[in-house]
Amino acid sequence: EGKRGATKIVTYAPAIAPAALSPLVLQRELAEAIAEDQLFVEYQPKVLLATGRTVGVEALVRWQHPQRGRMSPDEFIPVAERSPLIDQLTAWVVDRALRDCAAWQQAGADWTLSVNVSARNLTAPDVVQRAVEATRRYGVDPERLILELTETMTPFDDEVLRRTVVDLQQAGIRVSLDDFGAGVTNLAQLRAIPVAEIKIDRQFVDRLDREPASEAVVASIIDLGHRLGCTVTAEGVESAEVAERLAAYGCDLGQGYYWQRPTAWRELLAQEVLTAAQ
Ligand code: C2E
Ligand code: CA
Ligand code: CA
Ligand code: CA
């Protein structure tokens, strides 16, 4: 009786407005998107603050939806993370990004490749083996690959995660802690897992030049990261003032609209060649 009532509600529900896209619809469409090649990847440079040189790029996934147009990852990643789809999505991004990486290597760029992963990805079976196989498929040195781990609300097994990170680093693949400072479990994660890089969340970077509290947070994270032997990267750098301050604090790398918005890798390479020629 109750069940039948629930079915009725679903059957007669009005058409769903784009703003209120149901997770189930989104998951079904995302599965199609992966299969039908509606996804693509843009890259944003990671810049050495001391010299302004691009040393790596971060892969950011985009979805060109046939009806809804271009969708931001913030609209579909959180939904994907709540289902096994996130494993398919990450595998797709890793594959495409490594293929691109092989191509820019061929063209003479020595950039590292950062790919975003969720904790759920790193607790899936055979993840290290599959990552190493993906690098081999494209002839990319595993040392070029960095996996950026973002904290999520989805529960995962801490011990499995820790083991995976240890195994990845042993295979030469580095792990980075993304959005550092934004969440509550970051410090616990730092103690438990051997990360090679910390990325300072852009909410602190953004206000660096006008808010003393943010300045204190940024300076402390840089110090903490270096004490742990990590590379420290600031994301969301939008001005020369912020870039200069970060460099003065000893931050290693910067990323942000000040240098470059995410774009096609060929575009980045063309600009790099132009800058080098100047
Ligand atoms: P994120 O990993 O923190 O990536 C940085 C986000 O900040 C990107 O947004 C980038 O376009 C944006 N950004 C870069 N520079 C600036 C700046 O100077 N100012 C401002 N205001 N923003 C800047 P995007 O591409 O929309 O991605 C949003 C989030 O979606 C990412 O945050 C990441 O958590 C997630 N994401 C993106 N691609 C993937 C992916 O392939 N897999 C997974 N699991 N997550 C992804
Ligand atoms: Ca990231
Ligand atoms: Ca981030
Ligand atoms: Ca983020």
pLDDT in the model for residue 63: 96
205 lines ligand 1 (CB under 6 A): no
Run means of pLDDT, 10 residues per run, the chain, 278 residues = 42 49 89 94 98 97 94 92 92 98 96 95 93 98 96 72 94 95 76 90 93 93 96 97 97 98 96 75
For the CA of 72, the nearest atom of ligand 1: 26
Q: Side chain identity at 86, as an amino acid letter?
A: I
pLDDT in the model for residue 36: 93
CB 222 within 8 A of CB 251: yes
Question: How far does the centroid of ligand 4 lie from the alpha carbon of residue 155, in Å?
Answer: 18
> Which of 47, 60, 154 is the best mutation target for the ligand 1 pocket, counting ligand atoms within 8 Å of the beta carbon and taking the most?
60
pLDDT in the model for residue 247: 97
pTM: 0.91
* ipTM for the assembly: 0.97
Distance CA 225, CA 234 (A): 12
- The protein residue whose alpha carbon is closest to atom 7 in ligand 1 is 236
> Which of 235, 237, 258 is the best mutation target for the ligand 1 pocket, counting ligand atoms within 8 Å of the beta carbon and taking the most?
235
Distance CA 180, CA 148 (A): 11
Question: How far does the centroid of ligand 1 lie from the alpha carbon of residue 173, in Å?
Answer: 21
Distance CA 259, CA 237 (A): 8
262 lines ligand 1 (CB under 6 A): yes
Distance CA 150, CA 118 (A): 6
235 lines ligand 1 (CB under 6 A): yes
